[in-house]
Amino acid sequence: MTSRMKKSSIDKDILYEDNHLLILNKQPSAIVQGDKTGDEPLSETLKEYLKVRYEKPGNVFLGVVHRLDRPVSGALIFAKTSKALTRLNAMLQRGEIRKTYWAVVKNPPPEPEAHLTGYLRRNEEKNKTFVFARPADNTQKAELIYKLIGSSESYHLLEVNLLTGRHHQIRAQLSDIGCPIKGDLKYGYPRSNPGGSIHLHARTLEFVHPVSKTKIRIDADPPREPLWDHFTDQQKSGKNQAE
């Protein structure tokens, strides 16, 4: 892939950029950092994009602030300076970056809105997280709030606010209440999606800019496909069949 092709393919997914930050609408199947597959990660694609766009000689700095699982889409922050990376990492630790997700599930949740607390244990060999009701060996406390915000004839849209950031947290905790995410075979959904995506999308990021101190809110549209289009249109029109 040439530099010109990389620039044109990634440019349409950039939601925000200034001297310190770059926020991307990650597409499903893209990986944030390199893994055993050997596929080019977004971190490298974006470095090449910045090098070409700004005609930068030598190496380009780009820090990964947080990650999204490969089958997940949505808003993702990268730092273009070491100052921004250090400050954003500290903000993440303090819970000062608010992340809101959309998740499409087949089964309606037990309650239309709830605060879920569980204790998660990651199995490295299976690359899977298991939920426990009480603290156990090698578990981490995990909390999220979900709200049912939309429904179709066959599916339901949940808005999820993460209060902690654990491995596969949303996927594991929603599965634990009987609501595996559409396409998520690993956590109990019976069928895969085309291309291996799952219907989990990082919809909104809200935080104070680490350098300018201005308030930032970024909304990322889900991938264009019929079910996501239905729920996106439903939310934009203000209609909610679940009400």
Active site residues: 69
| Residue 74 zone, left/alpha/beta (φ > 0; ψ -120 to 50; rest) | left
Contact 230, 240 (CB under 8 A): no
Distance CA 214, CA 187 (A): 38
Nearest to 138 by CA among 119, 163, 116: 119
Cα within 13 Å of Cα(40), Cβ side: 9
> How many CB atoms are closer than 10 A to CB 222?
21
Distance CA 77, CA 94 (A): 16
Contact 157, 175 (CB under 8 A): no
Cα 93 to chain centroid distance, Å, stands at 17
Distance CA 185, CA 199 (A): 12
> How many CB atoms are closer than 10 A to CB 109?
18
